[in-house]
């Protein structure tokens, strides 16, 4: 099976589980809120974060079914962040995953509320016994995802990003500032998805730290690749508007350092991500492939 087939198979599993979780825990599919949540969750997407949860859990002998609910929770948080990021008051996008964004398909208030409900749903899923039999493991997952997605993680990263773009604060963003905001905005959730596999698998601290380190380098690679796609990618392949960072004067590594240096840093991040997996040997081949995919992806 190629990496893309493996990622696709994971996406199918995750989507089926998201459908059933939404039917069981959501507000009712006939409601406007339920429909907007479905649009946000089920209109495409690579399901890359769930893939990381499943594959990192697999390192500790867990079958996909045993990690699927945790994986679905990560996708709920990711989808909420995309819905809110696309709003006119944030990044203002009309297309996402090749489809109209939630506020275009519905309206702004429905998009805000669908995002809120998806974020909350993620924690409801993690707290369910079906996520893991051990309540301590469930509590650890809740804590890790809350830290990664909240005001010391992704939300803070988004805040720093928007302050730079909309308020020119700081007036001249330096490399350290951009690196920090990107590590928070994109890296925190990706790193946490990798760590979640270690939590589910009751890994030792050394193995958990190795997966976290892999995830941090992977997150950086993912973000630089995203910036390069925005600068150089084709709108129909990427599935959303491109060229927006330059037009908005966004603080990115590509803008600060140029595309060539950004590509060099992308390659370094890929190498370091793969190196962090060393102790897992051949078992980690799918995660090695995931790092290669993050770097070379076209969407």
E-only strand ranges, the chain: 95-96, 99-100
Whether residue 143 contacts residue 128, with contact meaning beta carbons closer than 8 Å, is answered with: no
Whole-number minimum distance, CB 226 to ligand GRG, in Å? 4
Which range in 45-53, 163-171, 268-276, 283-291 contacts ligand GRG by CB under 6 A? 45-53
Which range in 8-16, 27-35, 76-84, 248-256 contacts ligand GRG by CB under 6 A? 76-84
Q: Kindly report the backbone phi and psi dihedral angles of residue 96, in degrees, each rounded to the nearest multiple of 5, phi listed first.
A: -150, 135
| Residue 296, number of CB atoms within 10 A of its CB | 10
Q: Does the protein bind ligand GRG through residue 93 (CB under 6 A)? A: no
The correct pick among 35, 56, 131, 186 for binding ligand GRG (CB under 6 A) is 186
- Token pair for 261: 């240096």
Which range in 77-85, 101-109, 166-174, 281-289 contacts ligand GRG by CB under 6 A? 77-85
Q: Select 72 or 137, whichever has its Cβ closest to ligand GRG.
A: 72
Whole-number minimum distance, CB 156 to ligand GRG, in Å? 9
Q: Does the protein bind ligand GRG through residue 48 (CB under 6 A)? A: yes
Which range in 40-48, 102-110, 210-218, 246-254 contacts ligand GRG by CB under 6 A? 40-48
Whole-number minimum distance, CB 177 to ligand GRG, in Å? 16
Q: Does the protein bind ligand GRG through residue 55 (CB under 6 A)? A: no
Q: Select 201 or 239, whichever has its Cβ closest to ligand GRG.
A: 239
Whether residue 77 contacts residue 120, with contact meaning beta carbons closer than 8 Å, is answered with: no
Q: Does the protein bind ligand GRG through residue 45 (CB under 6 A)? A: yes
Q: Does the protein bind ligand GRG through residue 185 (CB under 6 A)? A: yes
Q: Kindly report the backbone phi and psi dihedral angles of residue 221, in degrees, each rounded to the nearest multiple of 5, phi listed first.
A: -60, -45
Pick from 249, 229, 110, 75: nearest CA to 172: 249
On the 0-12 / 13-18 / 19+ scale of CB atoms within 10 A, 145 is: buried
Q: Select 85 or 140, whichever has its Cβ closest to ligand GRG.
A: 85
Q: How many residues in the shown chain lie near ligand GRG by CB under 6 A?
A: 16
The correct pick among 35, 81, 110, 213 for binding ligand GRG (CB under 6 A) is 81
Whether residue 218 contacts residue 283, with contact meaning beta carbons closer than 8 Å, is answered with: no
Which range in 42-50, 133-141, 252-260, 277-285 contacts ligand GRG by CB under 6 A? 42-50
Whether residue 50 contacts residue 193, with contact meaning beta carbons closer than 8 Å, is answered with: yes
Site string for ligand GRG, 145-184 (x = CB under 6 A): ---------xx--x--------------------------
- Token pair for 205: 């601290």
* Whole-number Cα distances in Å, 237 to 2, 6, 247: 20, 20, 20
E-only strand ranges, 54-165: 95-96, 99-100
Q: Kindly report the backbone phi and psi dihedral angles of residue 18, in degrees, each rounded to the nearest multiple of 5, phi listed first.
A: -60, -40
Residues of this chain that bind ligand GRG (CB under 6 A): 45-46, 48, 78, 81-82, 84-85, 97, 154-155, 158, 185-186, 223, 226
């Amino acid at each position: 099976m190629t990496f893309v087939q493996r990622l696709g198979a994971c996406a199918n599993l995750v989507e089926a589980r998201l459908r059933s979780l939404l039917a069981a825990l959501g507000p009712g599919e006939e409601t406007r809120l339920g429909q907007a949540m479905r649009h946000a969750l089920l209109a495409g997407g690579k399901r890359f974060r769930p893939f990381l949860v499943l594959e990192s859990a697999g390192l500790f002998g867990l079958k996909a079914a045993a990690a699927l609910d945790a994986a679905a929770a990560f996708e709920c948080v990711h989808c909420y962040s995309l819905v809110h990021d696309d709003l006119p008051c944030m990044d203002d996008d009309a297309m996402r995953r090749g489809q109209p964004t939630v506020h275009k398909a519905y309206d702004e208030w429905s998009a805000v509320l669908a995002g809120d409900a998806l974020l909350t749903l993620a924690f409801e899923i993690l707290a369910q016994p079906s996520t893991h039999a051990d309540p301590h493991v469930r509590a650890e997952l809740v804590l890790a995802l809350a830290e990664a997605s909240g005001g010391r993680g992704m939300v803070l990263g988004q805040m720093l990003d928007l302050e730079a773009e909309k308020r020119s604060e700081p007036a001249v963003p330096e490399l350290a500032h951009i690196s920090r905001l990107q590590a928070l905005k994109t890296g925190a959730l990706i790193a946490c998805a990798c760590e979640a596999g270690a939590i589910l698998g009751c890994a030792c601290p050394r193995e958990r730290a190795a997966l976290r380190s892999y995830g941090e380098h992977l997150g950086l690679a993912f973000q630089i690749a995203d910036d390069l796609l925005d600068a150089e990618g084709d709108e129909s392949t990427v599935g959303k508007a491109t060229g927006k960072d330059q037009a908005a004067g966004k603080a990115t590594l590509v803008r600060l350092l140029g595309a060539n240096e950004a590509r060099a840093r992308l390659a370094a991040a890929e190498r370091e991500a793969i190196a962090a997996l060393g102790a897992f040997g051949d078992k980690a081949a799918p995660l090695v492939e995931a790092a290669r995919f993050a770097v070379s992806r076209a969407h």
